[in-house]
Amino acid sequence: METSNERFPETHSTCVRTLFNIKGSLARRDIIISISPTERSNYISPKCANQLVIPESSIVETNFFGKQYDISNLHLNIGDYTFTSQFTVQTLSFNDSDIVLGSPWMKTLGSFILNTKKKFLTFSYKKKKITLQDVTLKPNSVTPEDISDISKVVSDEGKKILKNMQNEIDKITIDKNDEVS
């Protein structure tokens, strides 16, 4: 049996500290996703959950703070990146997002680059570099000057990649200077 339409009531509110918001899709619906590494769970708003058709076998009722629901095996898409996880149905105060990705999601990324000032997160997925950028900023707002700051927080392998990136940027800068002469 499948469920939909107001299966998930509003719950007590959780105040989520969001680093930034990105766009994604869930069951072919466009959604707003908040990145919040300090949250202990991944959350889905009741409004968003009620728009989905979810098999009963994917829903678990819990009673930590009154009646609450966990939904397993939700497939979230962010561009070329796909993520499947469990989400807790939760009313999100002061937050217009549909989904919150917390520490359970962050732990799946492995090594990553997080820039809270420029509001982006970069990681590898299926041998591709994925960069998630805040929807309020212009894409590709990472500047060459950011590379030295970023290299302080990544693995040795990441540092090699950043050094190669810096070398490529230096080549481009030299080429541009040659054209001016």
Which tens digit of pLDDT belongs to each residue from 79-111?
A: 889 989 999 888 876 667 899 999 999 999 989
Question: What pLDDT was estimated at residue 101?
Answer: 93
Q: What is the pLDDT of residue 64?
A: 63
Q: Mean pLDDT across the stretch 65-86? A: 87
Confidence of residue 179 (pLDDT cuts 50, 70, 90): very low
Q: How confident is the model at residue 74 (pLDDT cuts 50, 70, 90)?
A: very high
pLDDT at 178 over 50: no
Give the residue, 179 or 36, on which the prediction is more confident.
Answer: 36
Residue 1 in this model has a pLDDT that exceeds 90: no
Given a cut of 90, is residue 24 above it in pLDDT?
yes
User: What architecture is the 2-135 domain classified under in CATH?
Assistant: Beta Barrel (2.40)
Residue of 98, 106, 123, 94 whose CA lies nearest to 41: 106
pTM value is 0.68
What pLDDT is attached to residue 69? 86
pLDDT confidence of residue 87: 92
- pLDDT tens digits for range 3-21: 445 666 666 556 667 888 9
| pLDDT score of 34 more than 50 | yes
Looking at residue 22, its pLDDT comes to: 92
Most confident of 5-14, 54-63, 125-134, 172-181: 125-134
Instruction: Quote the strand ranges of the chain, DSSP E.
Output: 2-3, 13-15, 20-26, 29-35, 43-44, 54-55, 59-62, 68-78, 81-89, 91-93, 99-101, 112-115, 120-125, 128-133
CB burial class (10 A; 0-12, 13-18, 19+) of residue 2?
exposed
Q: Which residues pair with 26 in a beta bridge?
A: 29, 76
